[in-house]
Protein backbone atom coordinates (compact mmCIF):
# COMPACT_ATOMS: atom_id res chain seq x y z
CA UNK A 1 0.00 0.00 0.00
CA UNK A 2 1.42 3.39 -0.97
CA UNK A 3 1.14 6.58 1.04
CA UNK A 4 -0.94 9.56 -0.06
CA UNK A 5 1.55 12.40 -0.52
CA UNK A 6 -0.93 15.06 -1.71
CA UNK A 7 -0.25 18.33 0.11
CA UNK A 8 2.60 16.85 2.15
CA UNK A 9 5.46 19.32 2.71
CA UNK A 10 8.57 17.41 1.63
CA UNK A 11 12.16 18.64 1.76
CA UNK A 12 14.83 16.94 -0.30
CA UNK A 13 17.94 17.46 1.84
CA UNK A 14 20.84 17.23 -0.59
CA UNK A 15 19.96 17.08 -4.27
CA UNK A 16 23.33 15.53 -5.04
CA UNK A 17 25.03 14.62 -8.29
CA UNK A 18 23.92 11.05 -8.95
CA UNK A 19 20.18 11.39 -9.51
CA UNK A 20 18.73 10.00 -6.28
CA UNK A 21 17.63 13.32 -4.85
CA UNK A 22 16.21 14.40 -8.21
CA UNK A 23 14.33 11.11 -8.61
CA UNK A 24 12.83 11.39 -5.11
CA UNK A 25 11.88 15.03 -5.74
CA UNK A 26 10.22 14.21 -9.08
CA UNK A 27 8.40 11.18 -7.68
CA UNK A 28 7.00 13.06 -4.68
CA UNK A 29 6.07 16.17 -6.68
CA UNK A 30 4.20 14.13 -9.28
CA UNK A 31 2.22 12.55 -6.43
CA UNK A 32 1.08 15.91 -5.11
CA UNK A 33 3.68 16.62 -2.44
CA UNK A 34 4.80 20.20 -2.03
CA UNK A 35 8.52 19.60 -2.65
CA UNK A 36 11.39 21.87 -1.68
CA UNK A 37 14.95 21.00 -2.68
CA UNK A 38 17.90 22.27 -0.66
CA UNK A 39 21.62 21.73 -1.17
CA UNK A 40 24.84 23.45 -0.14
CA UNK A 41 26.11 23.25 -3.71
CA UNK A 42 25.20 25.99 -6.14
CA UNK A 43 23.19 25.88 -9.36
CA UNK A 44 26.25 25.47 -11.59
CA UNK A 45 27.53 22.49 -9.60
CA UNK A 46 24.14 20.79 -9.72
CA UNK A 47 23.28 21.51 -13.36
CA UNK A 48 22.86 17.82 -14.32
CA UNK A 49 20.57 17.08 -11.37
CA UNK A 50 18.58 20.28 -11.92
CA UNK A 51 18.02 19.31 -15.56
CA UNK A 52 16.22 16.19 -14.29
CA UNK A 53 13.78 18.46 -12.44
CA UNK A 54 12.99 20.76 -15.38
CA UNK A 55 9.39 19.50 -15.78
CA UNK A 56 8.71 18.63 -12.13
CA UNK A 57 6.38 20.88 -10.11
CA UNK A 58 8.94 21.76 -7.42
CA UNK A 59 7.72 24.63 -5.20
CA UNK A 60 11.06 25.66 -3.70
CA UNK A 61 14.69 25.45 -4.76
CA UNK A 62 17.28 26.65 -2.25
CA UNK A 63 20.82 26.11 -3.47
CA UNK A 64 24.12 27.31 -2.06
CA UNK A 65 22.79 26.99 1.49
CA UNK A 66 19.90 25.81 3.63
CA UNK A 67 16.99 27.63 5.29
CA UNK A 68 15.59 26.76 8.72
CA UNK A 69 11.97 26.78 7.57
CA UNK A 70 12.69 24.05 4.99
CA UNK A 71 13.40 21.68 7.88
CA UNK A 72 11.30 23.14 10.69
CA UNK A 73 8.07 23.18 8.66
CA UNK A 74 8.48 19.92 6.70
CA UNK A 75 6.31 16.83 7.09
CA UNK A 76 8.93 14.64 5.38
CA UNK A 77 12.68 15.14 4.92
CA UNK A 78 14.37 12.87 2.40
CA UNK A 79 18.03 12.75 3.41
CA UNK A 80 20.82 12.27 0.86
CA UNK A 81 23.31 9.54 1.86
CA UNK A 82 26.14 12.12 1.82
CA UNK A 83 24.55 14.11 4.68
CA UNK A 84 26.42 13.59 7.95
CA UNK A 85 24.31 12.08 10.74
CA UNK A 86 25.38 14.89 13.11
CA UNK A 87 24.17 17.63 10.74
CA UNK A 88 22.54 20.52 12.65
CA UNK A 89 19.89 20.61 9.90
CA UNK A 90 18.89 17.03 10.74
CA UNK A 91 18.70 17.99 14.41
CA UNK A 92 16.40 20.86 13.47
CA UNK A 93 14.17 18.56 11.40
CA UNK A 94 13.98 16.04 14.27
CA UNK A 95 12.63 18.75 16.59
CA UNK A 96 9.72 19.40 14.22
CA UNK A 97 6.94 17.23 12.87
CA UNK A 98 9.02 15.80 10.00
CA UNK A 99 9.61 12.14 9.40
CA UNK A 100 13.13 11.55 8.14
CA UNK A 101 13.93 8.90 5.55
CA UNK A 102 16.31 8.13 2.71
CA UNK A 103 15.36 7.81 -0.94
CA UNK A 104 15.88 4.04 -0.59
CA UNK A 105 13.40 3.90 2.31
CA UNK A 106 10.93 5.92 0.26
CA UNK A 107 11.27 3.42 -2.58
CA UNK A 108 10.95 0.35 -0.36
CA UNK A 109 7.88 1.74 1.40
CA UNK A 110 6.11 2.30 -1.90
CA UNK A 111 7.31 -0.51 -4.14
CA UNK A 112 4.62 -3.16 -4.41
CA UNK A 113 6.88 -5.71 -6.08
CA UNK A 114 9.11 -8.20 -4.33
CA UNK A 115 12.49 -6.60 -3.67
CA UNK A 116 15.75 -8.53 -3.60
CA UNK A 117 18.85 -6.77 -2.31
CA UNK A 118 22.36 -7.57 -3.41
CA UNK A 119 25.21 -6.03 -1.47
CA UNK A 120 28.93 -5.86 -2.03
CA UNK A 121 29.65 -7.59 1.25
CA UNK A 122 31.79 -10.71 1.14
CA UNK A 123 32.71 -13.28 3.71
CA UNK A 124 36.21 -13.24 5.10
CA UNK A 125 37.44 -16.63 3.97
CA UNK A 126 39.98 -17.83 1.44
CA UNK A 127 38.79 -18.38 -2.16
CA UNK A 128 37.95 -21.89 -3.33
CA UNK A 129 40.50 -23.72 -5.44
In a domain, residue 119? The reply is: no
106 is a domain residue: yes
Closest listed residue to residue 96, CA positions, set 79, 71, 78: 71
Residue 128 or 37, more confident: 37
Share the mean pLDDT of the chain. 91
Q: What is the pLDDT of residue 127?
A: 61
In a domain, 124, yes or no: no
Q: Which helix (H) or strand (E) holds 77?
A: strand 76-79
CATH classification of the domain holding 14: 3.40.50.720
Residue 12 in this model has a pLDDT that exceeds 80 = yes
Whether 125 maps to a domain, the answer reads no
Domain of residue 59, residue span:
9-110
In a domain, 116, yes or no: no
Query: Is 31 contained in some domain?
Result: yes
DSSP for 8-48, please give it. Answer: -EEEEE---SSSHHHHHHHHHHTTT-EEEEEESS-TTTTHH
3-class SS at 89?
Answer: helix
Distance CA 121, CA 97 (A): 36
Structural domains of the chain, count: 1
Reported as a single tens digit per residue, the pLDDT across 84-122 is 999 999 999 999 999 999 999 999 999 889 988 888 766
- Whole-prediction pTM value? 0.87
Amino acid sequence: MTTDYRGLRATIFGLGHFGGGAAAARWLAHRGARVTVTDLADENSLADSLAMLADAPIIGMHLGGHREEDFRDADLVVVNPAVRPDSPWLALARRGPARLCTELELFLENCQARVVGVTGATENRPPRR
